[in-house]
Structure 1
Amino acid sequence: HHLVSLCQKHNIPYKVDLYPFYASDASAALKAGADVKHGLFGAGIESSHAMERTHLDSIKAAQALLEAYCFSKLL
């Protein structure tokens, strides 16, 4: 909820999506038994792998969210 709150507070466009078959370092840590908070975000893309496409606004929004997160209070 923290990332969504930051987007709303800073007027950063966002979409929430779930990828049940996506693996990441966070999912590997959870599978190994780590008790950690985690979240993933990035620029929206079309067609992952091979010829990925995105819009410059998506990259700017991801950068703005990263900046807002870095300067936010620790949870």
Structure 2
Amino acid sequence: MFFPKKQDSSVAFVCHANLIRYFISRYFLLDRAQWQNLWLGNCSISTLKFHDKSNVELDLLAFEEHIPRHL
């Protein structure tokens, strides 16, 4: 799995939502049914906070408030 080299650092992944679901399910040891039930919208933002290799926090999941409603 990927872990940032420095504590309190940021890394951005811009990719398909299915890959984001995969990362989240791996970090939080979700089973296949839980992974398939995760829903992420187009252009949504999800963030993980890495405190250290044994402490990962899901900060945002499928955040979409940055997208104007008329789109």
Q: Which has the higher contact order (CA 8 A, sep 6+)?
A: 1
Higher share of residues assigned helix: 1
Higher share of residues assigned strand: 2
Q: Which is higher, the Rg of structure 1 or of structure 2? A: 1
TM-score, with structure 2 as normaliser: 0.25
